[in-house]
Structure 1
């Protein structure tokens, strides 16, 4: 009988050890389960107005660049008053050529004009006397006609002398190179002391200091861009400037792109410069759609997902389709409804079916 007693005692001891070990493992398992629950923050999709935009790239150029040259040839440049970057007003003196030769010519032609005036005065008096003697027989008809013809010739010579004087005065005024419009000097080739030829370029002027963006857009987007639409360009330093579409070019470029001319208000000219290559967007409309913070979207295997919580705080991985992005928010086109609770942060550590814990701060924000 002793072997049976020993077997029974041994079995009882083994059972007791198993129960104690199992209880210890159960006690250890429960805290481990609690520690595996991830604490997350939640949010709800919000309705937002999303802008329809067209992406564009291109250079900033002068709105209009005027070429300022000389209308005279063979004169020496004796004054230059502006340089590149100078701001000028319409009619301001930019440079001046030596007027000495033209002033001498003007004096000569004024003298010829005075001579022509005297000759015409004499011829008209003779014509009047001859006309008064036409019927007296003192002068023949032929002689009277000659006096009248001389008066007409003298009048024509006077008009010619006046025209030559006016032409010389015009040339004298052309020795002063004036700004055709207000703006900024963008280039200068005028050199003090040089002798310029007629038509030579002296300066280039950005009219009214106005710049515009030649935004290149894809041919497929050409029908969406219209004059008057708002546009935003990002400068190389990261700053952004806003403008308005002035017009759209009627022809495509060699790259099969269209050019939209976007003008900027005068106050943005200080931060931008002609020649800058910038990128931006043209706003073609707006529509309403759901919005989520970008941290709510999880990318796995090239696809986008969001984690939705049910009433038991169980996370379900839901595929979503996103659209436009503005700052830290993304448009959700499908997969989420406005009433669902979505994991805001920590979704990258979750798996489908995981139970989570929501922080009180997140619950209060979701309630608000």
Structure 2
């Protein structure tokens, strides 16, 4: 009987141990840890980011036009063509100008002949006056005639210069070496004064022309660093604020800010960019601390937006946020998160509140 009790007791211990082992195994299976990548929320007491959108422009560009009316006679270039300084870009019909040039040249020849004749008479009367063979009045009259002939020749030559200058507007040449980016007319079209005919730009250095709101322009100044995000290329390029406009009279309340960017052969004029300007809190007296996190780290549930943070014992904790500006890559956090707090930016499994994570 005693042996039977011992057997029953031993069997009970075995069953209890097996049950505990099963529960431990079940707990392990039900709560696996998830590998994640983390980073700290950016920002801090001395930094604020001002977001803006803009377009890429060449720092050296030109829209060329003519000051005379006429038909487009020749257009030897096309869009995308490389040209050197002084190359002919467009020729406007100058038939009327050629006729005027002939008239002006004839006038110059006539004025030169009159001047030479007056000059000889003036020199002759000077000699006669020295020998007292001519009166003072005769010399004065001849001097006046000489000065008038000289002035007439100068007028004729200035008219010739004016006509020659107009020929430069008939034959438009490249003001610098670069690339033709657009032609606005074709052969046979009528060219009017001031109408853009050809547009070109110099390759190499580019800049971003961005618009900043009136509430933030006071924090922007030359020399501030900026991050330029080009979503079409999937890259971010560093830049520096080079110009800040202090008037929004013709820009609808937005202020123009130009940002020089590092040279990159894959960047072309006209591309859209998101800009994040690094404003200095201490120097510009910015009152509110700005916190930014990657947009990819956000969790959306209905109308709520949150992010997973790291809690006690490496547990994932979902934190609800109030967000602000979006620069295309990062989102500003207005409340719910402090700078330098650790957040989860990606995970190898599905996250939920309380799950253990490794990083």
- TM-score tier, shorter chain, comes to 0.5 to 0.7
Q: What are the Cα deviations for residues 303-359 of structure 1, in whole angstroms up to 9, with x where unaligned?
A: 8552444xxxxx778899999xx99xxx975789xxxxxxx988957859xxx9x9x
- The equivalent residue for 1:149 is 144
Q: CA deviation at 1:299?
A: 11
TM-score, structure 2 as length reference: 0.67
- The equivalent residue for 1:306 is 310
Determine whether 1:97 maps to 2:87. no
In the alignment, the residues of structure 2 paired with residue 335 and residue 170 of structure 1 have an alpha-carbon distance, to the nearest angstrom, of 68
Q: Secondary structure at the match of 1:128?
A: helix
Question: Is the 1:80–1:95 Cα contact (8 Å) retained in structure 2?
Answer: yes
- The equivalent residue for 2:79 is 84
Determine whether 1:32 maps to 2:22. yes
Q: CA deviation at 1:237?
A: 4.4
In the alignment, the residues of structure 2 paired with residue 128 and residue 305 of structure 1 have an alpha-carbon distance, to the nearest angstrom, of 102
Q: Say if 1:209 and 1:41 are closer, same or farther in 2 by CA, change over 3 A.
A: closer
Q: Which of 245, 249, 259 is the equivalent residue of 1:249? A: 245
Q: Which of 253, 262, 267 is the equivalent residue of 1:265? A: 262
In the alignment, the residues of structure 1 paired with residue 51 and residue 103 of structure 2 have an alpha-carbon distance, to the nearest angstrom, of 63
Q: Secondary structure at the match of 1:152?
A: helix
Q: Which of 153, 156, 178 is the equivalent residue of 1:158? A: 153
Question: Is the 1:231–1:280 Cα contact (8 Å) retained in structure 2?
Answer: yes
Q: CA deviation at 1:26?
A: 0.8
Range with greater deviation from structure 2 (118-127 or 243-252): 243-252
- The equivalent residue for 1:179 is 174
Q: CA deviation at 1:60?
A: 0.6
Unaligned runs of 5+ in 1: 1-8, 287-295, 310-314, 337-343
Q: Secondary structure at the match of 1:181?
A: coil
Q: CA deviation at 1:70?
A: 0.9
Larger Rg: 1
Q: Secondary structure at the match of 2:160?
A: helix
In the alignment, the residues of structure 1 paired with residue 185 and residue 236 of structure 2 have an alpha-carbon distance, to the nearest angstrom, of 36
Structure 1 vs Structure 2 CA RMSD: 4.9
Aligned counterparts, 1:1-368, within 5 A: 19=9, 22-35=12-25, 36-37=27-28, 38=31, 40=33, 52=47, 54=49, 56-62=51-57, 63=59, 65-73=61-69, 75-134=70-129, 138-206=133-201, 211-217=206-212, 221-222=216-217, 224-228=219-223, 229-251=225-247, 258-268=255-265, 270-274=266-270, 276-284=271-279, 305-309=309-313, 333=339, 348=351, 351=354
Q: CA deviation at 1:53?
A: 5.3
Range with greater deviation from structure 2 (193-202 or 15-24): 15-24
Q: CA deviation at 1:28?
A: 2.1
- The equivalent residue for 2:334 is none
In the alignment, the residues of structure 2 paired with residue 96 and residue 256 of structure 1 have an alpha-carbon distance, to the nearest angstrom, of 41
Q: Secondary structure at the match of 1:236?
A: coil
In the alignment, the residues of structure 2 paired with residue 213 and residue 135 of structure 1 have an alpha-carbon distance, to the nearest angstrom, of 76
Unaligned runs of 5+ in 2: 282-296, 324-328, 331-336
Aligned residues: 321
Question: Is the 2:213–2:255 Cα contact (8 Å) retained in structure 1?
Answer: yes
Q: Say if 1:60 and 1:123 are closer, same or farther in 2 by CA, change over 3 A.
A: same
Q: Secondary structure at the match of 2:67?
A: coil
Question: Is the 2:52–2:274 Cα contact (8 Å) retained in structure 1?
Answer: yes
TM-score, structure 1 as length reference: 0.65
Question: Is the 1:227–1:246 Cα contact (8 Å) retained in structure 2?
Answer: yes
In the alignment, the residues of structure 2 paired with residue 171 and residue 255 of structure 1 have an alpha-carbon distance, to the nearest angstrom, of 38
